[in-house]
């Protein structure tokens, strides 16, 4: 990888902070000219029209995955090599098919289709056989993944998707004979069954032979899996079948694959299928069957393959039967497409930057959906071994969900609220089935602020103030309204302060890694949380005022004032930036520290708080640019830790420059975008925004970057690491939600508030204009923003339905109305905290 990245090395010195980074480390940095930028050398391209990413080379550096889900309980992810797994409801309890996370070959198994043409065997997904194909592409779309491939006069198109309402994974196959000869093919779909509990499947897979049964089901004409283990959380049955009957099949994986072989060369495809079942001594189960397809020249044929699931075998059979009909399949795919279009039409943008449009219009919303649904649980790198409903993470993940999925978001808010104790302390996570958490003492001190942000967004987006009055139990005892839950949570932060008068850190604040310090040292106070408290209080006060609960307001205003005073003083101000953590006898994030001198978050949130001295805030953000920024994102802090604060004990979490140890943690980058937009600094806001978009990051050097160009990376290795510029985890990150918010609400500046739709852009000064079509509270706003003075940011002059309007708030219109909004950015400079 390092070698490949050298190919792109440009002899330009790149400064990434105080000290220039050695050339060998910046090999991955190939600063692209983002203006009018289109990828040239890459593994694929965006088909914006169809909202697809088209992978044109199967040999991507790593599996590039897509999530498939309807709106029911069936889920799957699938890579561009057809590796992947399907699960029912939760991946740790309802795992239906197996994906070996740390096995070789990687990205296997999955959902394979073997096509046997004479003695030749190939896959439309290229993998696992890897037979050279004459044409190949994999189209990852919003609700499906489709492989188009051809070889030796056979054209195949294989589309995977899950209908909106039914629990079935469909493989819609079209085969066409493009040759002038008659063709007789055999086709074999293949899956590897998993015991439903992920841990059981990983550790006790041997019970497959006595706790599960895999057999031919005469009634449906499909392959049935049945599970007997008494303690199994999910007792569902599956039917794997085709739209036509088959006679030959195999379910004993050992006998189908053969000793010493893999899915790349199963012995069963050479010697013929033997109708094995896993009730006749087999210990590993797979599902495969043979269909013969005869095609005259130019003839095409459609075959539907189906993996249906239900706790009730009759229902699984019914689904299998239903989707034997091509008509039903066509209807289902249309419904999936229409649902996505309907959701995405809630916010569509047209800007001069194509990569921004692709991310904001399609791929970030898709990413947000997957994160909302899967938390930090399952991907080709996450095992999916437990539930991941956590107050802090989930609250952030669902923020934009308030626009796309208001009902689901509401439900999740009401579950999460029950993690708040009667004292206002927030328990880290919650199991929705039992409303308990295994480690209820664990306290991430920042949790509640994310609850305030999400509630505010929900109220602004929907106007559903009734949610505040719903009465729910606290985690431990008593009950109270949703608004009380929020207030108590915020009070807890305001009242639990340490020696310097700042909020106590408890186990950690937003930055989990800081737990290493709280484990070693007591008395930590968090500067970041004090800043977040000020911002959250502002929103909470607005909520309280709207709800007529003004008694509570003085506490939050007073506390915000106290915190602002401490933050502005030398207790927290280090001379060039805001410190990060305070202890009675030590501090972090100060120029006196050898490592961890300057942290990103306390600078961004100082700007977002909006009450701290403007000159200090600007200086701090200038230092972010000078000392933390790179061309691939902003470091979380610098220098990374090698020792603990005593300067002796080794620091154990991430290696220097990786992840939370001074890596480019993109989630935290989004607040720097917002901070610069709030400060009215369009060039920097734009630089910070565009440089973390996956299509831009990947385009610098797709091979070295490694991961999907269409899904946000949680973090990218920083310049203190040899893998600088390489992406780590993708898809499951709160960064997706925040990047979307930063882009739509702070760069484009279209933001619902409690009182109306705010228009407050901060765009690249060279843009002439942009357009946004946004649906809020049932009305549609068609907004055109013009930038004639080339300032990018400033006051706007609004014209609403042809009439001039003072200020920058468009009043909400009634349901069904379409409102034409024209905003002209004027050259009057505006400052701070829009
Ligand atoms: C991960 C965690 C999130 C945390 C962040 C920074 O993304 O899921 O909860 O805030 O890391 O530590």
pLDDT tens digits, one per residue of 82-124: 999 999 999 999 999 999 998 899 999 999 999 999 999 999 9
Q: Is the pLDDT of residue 830 over 80?
A: no
Report helix angle 614-623 to 601-609, nearest 10.
Answer: 150
Q: What is the pLDDT of residue 432?
A: 87
230 vs 707, residue with greater confidence: 707
The band of 831, judged by pLDDT with boundaries at 50, 70 and 90, is very low
pLDDT in tens, 497-545: 999 999 999 999 999 999 999 889 999 999 999 999 999 999 999 999 9
Query: What is the 787 CA–ligand 1 centroid distance (Å)?
Result: 37
Structure tokens at 7: 């190919």
The band of 205, judged by pLDDT with boundaries at 50, 70 and 90, is confident
The band of 26, judged by pLDDT with boundaries at 50, 70 and 90, is very low
Q: Is the pLDDT of residue 188 over 90?
A: yes
Q: What is the pLDDT of residue 280?
A: 75
* Percent of residues, the chain, with pLDDT higher than 70: 94
Q: Is the pLDDT of residue 231 over 80?
A: no
Q: Is the pLDDT of residue 13 over 50?
A: no
The predicted model gives 53-66 an average pLDDT of 97
Identify whether the C-beta of residue 426 lies closer than 8 Å to the C-beta of residue 443.
yes
DSSP state letter for 206: G
Query: What is the 611 CA–ligand 1 centroid distance (Å)?
Result: 26
Hey, how many other C-beta atoms are within 10 angstroms of the C-beta on 15?
13
- Alpha carbon distance 623, 611 (integer Å): 19
- Alpha carbon distance 661, 653 (integer Å): 8
Which burial class, exposed, middle or buried, applies to 466 when counting CB atoms under 10 A from its CB (0-12, 13-18, 19+)? Answer: exposed
Q: Is the pLDDT of residue 40 over 80?
A: no
Q: What is the pLDDT of residue 828?
A: 65
DSSP state letter for 152: T
**Full strand arrangement of the beta sheet holding 154-161:** 44-47, 52-55, 135-140, 144-151, 154-161, 168-177, 300-310, 237-242, 222-227, 212-217
3 Cβ contact list (under 8 Å, min separation 6): none
pLDDT in tens, 737-794: 999 999 999 999 999 999 999 999 999 999 999 999 999 999 999 999 999 999 999 9
The predicted model gives 474-496 an average pLDDT of 98
Atom index in ligand 1 nearest the CA of residue 714 equals 7
Hey, how many other C-beta atoms are within 10 angstroms of the C-beta on 13?
10
Name the residue with tokens 């007073």: 558
Q: What is the pLDDT of residue 204?
A: 83
Residues in contact with ligand 1 (CB, 6 Å cut-off)? 376, 392-393, 510-513, 660, 667, 734
Judged by phi (left if over 0) then psi (alpha if -120 to 50, else beta), residue 445 lies in alpha
- Distance between the two ends of the chain, CA-based, in angstroms? 43
Query: What is the 508 CA–ligand 1 centroid distance (Å)?
Result: 10
Structure tokens at 182: 């008659």
Identify whether the C-beta of residue 75 lies closer than 8 Å to the C-beta of residue 67.
yes
- Alpha carbon distance 140, 143 (integer Å): 8
Q: What is the pLDDT of residue 386?
A: 83
Mutate to test the pocket of ligand 1, among 376, 391, 665, 667 (most ligand atoms within 8 A of CB): 667
Q: Is the pLDDT of residue 157 over 60?
A: yes
The band of 16, judged by pLDDT with boundaries at 50, 70 and 90, is very low
What is the CA angle 124-700-354, rounded to 5?
80
Report the 3 state secondary structure along 347-399: EEEECCCHHHHHHHHHHHHHHHHHHHHHCCCECCCCECCCCCCEHHHHHHHCC
DSSP codes of every residue in 68-113:
EE-SSSEEEEEETTSBEEEEES-TTT-B-B---TT-SSSS-SB-EE
Atom index in ligand 1 nearest the CA of residue 511 equals 12
Q: Is the pLDDT of residue 722 over 50?
A: yes
What is the CA angle 827-828-834, rounded to 5?
110
* Percent of residues, the chain, with pLDDT higher than 90: 87
341 Cβ contact list (under 8 Å, min separation 6): none
pLDDT in tens, 667-695: 999 999 999 999 999 999 999 999 999 99
Report helix angle 734-741 to 666-678, nearest 10.
Answer: 20
CA dihedral 677, 678, 679, 681 (to 10 degrees): 10
Structure tokens at 324: 């034997």
The predicted model gives 629-633 an average pLDDT of 97
Structure tokens at 614: 């403007």
DSSP codes of every residue in 445-473:
TTHHHHHHHHHHHHHHHH--GGGGG-EEE
Query: What is the 197 CA–ligand 1 centroid distance (Å)?
Result: 26
Q: Is the pLDDT of residue 424 over 90?
A: yes
Q: Mean pLDDT score of the chain, rounded to an integer?
A: 93
Q: What is the pLDDT of residue 69?
A: 87
Q: Is the pLDDT of residue 833 over 80?
A: no
Atom index in ligand 1 nearest the CA of residue 733 equals 7
Query: What is the 712 CA–ligand 1 centroid distance (Å)?
Result: 15
Q: What is the pLDDT of residue 390?
A: 94
Q: What is the pLDDT of residue 827?
A: 74
649 vs 447, residue with greater confidence: 447
Rg for the chain (alpha carbons), in Å?
28
Query: What is the 219 CA–ligand 1 centroid distance (Å)?
Result: 49
- Alpha carbon distance 539, 543 (integer Å): 6
Atom index in ligand 1 nearest the CA of residue 665 equals 6
Atom index in ligand 1 nearest the CA of residue 734 equals 7
Atom index in ligand 1 nearest the CA of residue 376 equals 8
Query: What is the 460 CA–ligand 1 centroid distance (Å)?
Result: 26
pLDDT in tens, 294-331: 999 999 999 999 999 999 999 999 999 999 999 999 99
Query: What is the 812 CA–ligand 1 centroid distance (Å)?
Result: 35
């Amino acid at each position: 990888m390092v070698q490949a990245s050298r190919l792109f090395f440009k002899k330009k010195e790149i400064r990434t902070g105080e000290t220039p980074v050695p050339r060998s480390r910046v090999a991955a940095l190939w600063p692209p000219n983002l203006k009018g930028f289109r990828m040239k050398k890459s593994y694929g391209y965006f088909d914006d029209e169809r909202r697809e990413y088209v992978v044109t080379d199967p040999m991507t550096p790593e599996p590039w995955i897509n999530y498939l889900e309807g709106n029911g309980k069936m889920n799957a992810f699938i890579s561009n090599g057809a590796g992947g797994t399907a699960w029912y409801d939760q991946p740790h309890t309802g795992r239906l098919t197996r994906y070996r996370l740390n096995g070789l070959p990687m990205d296997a198994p999955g959902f394979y289709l073997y096509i046997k043409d004479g003695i030749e065997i190939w896959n439309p997904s290229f993998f696992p056989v890897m037979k050279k194909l004459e044409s190949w592409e994999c189209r990852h779309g919003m609700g499906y993944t489709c492989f188009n491939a051809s070889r030796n006069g056979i054209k195949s198109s294989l589309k995977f998707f899950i209908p909106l309402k039914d629990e079935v994974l469909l493989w819609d196959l079209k085969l066409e004979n493009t040759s002038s000869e008659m063709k007789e093919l055999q086709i074999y779909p293949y899956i590897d069954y998993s015991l439903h509990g992920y841990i059981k499947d990983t550790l006790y897979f041997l019970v497959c032979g006595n706790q599960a049964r895999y057999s031919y089901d005469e009634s449906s004409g499909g392959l049935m899996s049945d599970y007997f283990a008494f303690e199994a959380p999910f007792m569902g049955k599956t039917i794997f079948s085709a739209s036509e009957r088959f006679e030959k099949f195999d379910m004993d994986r050992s006998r189908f694959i053969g000793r010493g072989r893999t899915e790349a060369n199963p012995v069963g495809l050479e010697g013929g299928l033997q109708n094995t079942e896993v009730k006749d001594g087999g210990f590993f189960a797979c599902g495969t069957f043979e269909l013969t397809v005869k095609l005259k020249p130019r003839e095409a044929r459609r075959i539907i393959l189906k993996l249906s699931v239900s706790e009730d075998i009759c229902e699984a059979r019914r689904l299998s039967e239903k989707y034997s009909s091509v008509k039903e399949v066509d209807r289902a795919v249309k419904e999936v497409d229409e649902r996505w279009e309907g959701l995405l039409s809630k916010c569509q943008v047209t800007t001069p930057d194509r990569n921004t449009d692709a991310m904001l219009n399609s791929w970030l919303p898709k990413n947000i959906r997957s994160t909302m649904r899967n938390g930090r649980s399952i991907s080709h790198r996450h095992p999916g071994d437990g539930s991941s409903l956590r107050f802090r993470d989930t609250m952030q993940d669902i923020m934009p969900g308030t626009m796309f999925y208001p009902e689901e978001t509401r439900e999740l808010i009401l579950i999460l609220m029950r993690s708040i104790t009667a004292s206002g302390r927030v328990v880290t996570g919650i199991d929705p089935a039992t409303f308990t958490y295994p480690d209820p003492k664990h306290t991430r001190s920042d949790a509640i602020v994310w609850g305030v942000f999400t509630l505010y967004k929900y109220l602004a987006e929907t106007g559903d103030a009734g949610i505040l009055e719903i009465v729910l139990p606290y985690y431990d005892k008593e009950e109270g309204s949703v608004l009380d839950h929020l207030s108590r949570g915020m009070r807890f932060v305001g009242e639990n302060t340490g020696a310097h008068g700042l909020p106590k850190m408890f186990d950690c604040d937003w930055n989990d890694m800081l737990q290493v310090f709280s484990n070693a040292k007591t008395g930590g106070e968090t500067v970041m949380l004090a800043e977040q408290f000020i911002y959250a209080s502002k929103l909470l006060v607005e909520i309280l005022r709207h709800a007529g609960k003004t008694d509570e307001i003085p506490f939050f205003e007073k506390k915000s004032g106290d915190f602002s005073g401490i933050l502005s003083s030398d207790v927290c101000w280090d001379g060039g930036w805001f410190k990060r953590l305070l202890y009675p006898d030590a501090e972090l994030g100060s120029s006196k520290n050898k490592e961890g001198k300057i942290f990103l978050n306390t600078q961004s949130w100082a700007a977002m708080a909006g009450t701290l001295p403007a000159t200090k805030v600007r200086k701090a953000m200038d230092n972010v640019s000078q000392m933390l920024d790179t061309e691939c994102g902003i470091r979380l802090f610098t220098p990374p830790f090698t020792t603990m604060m005593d300067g002796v004990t080794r620091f154990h979490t991430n290696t220097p420059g990786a992840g939370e140890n001074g890596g480019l943690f993109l989630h935290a980058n989004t607040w720097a975008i917002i901070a610069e937009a709030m400060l009215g600094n369009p060039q920097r806001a734009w630089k910070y925004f565009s440089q973390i978009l996956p299509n831009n990051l990947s385009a610098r050097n797709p091979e070295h970057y490694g991961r999907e160009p269409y899904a946000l990376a949680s973090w990218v290795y920083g310049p203190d690491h040899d893998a600088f510029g390489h992406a780590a985890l993708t898809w499951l990150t709160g960064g997706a939600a925040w990047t979307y918010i930063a882009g739509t609400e702070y760069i484009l500046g279209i933001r619902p508030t409690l009182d109306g739709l705010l228009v407050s852009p901060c765009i690249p000064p060279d843009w002439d204009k942009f357009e946004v079509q946004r649906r809020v509270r049932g009305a549609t706003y068609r907004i055109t923003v013009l930038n004639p003075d080339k300032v990018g940011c400033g006051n706007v002059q609004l014209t609403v339905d042809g009439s001039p309007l003072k200020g920058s708030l468009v009043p909400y219109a009634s349901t069904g109305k379409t409102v034409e909004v024209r905003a002209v950015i004027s050259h009057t400079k505006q400052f701070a905290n829009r």
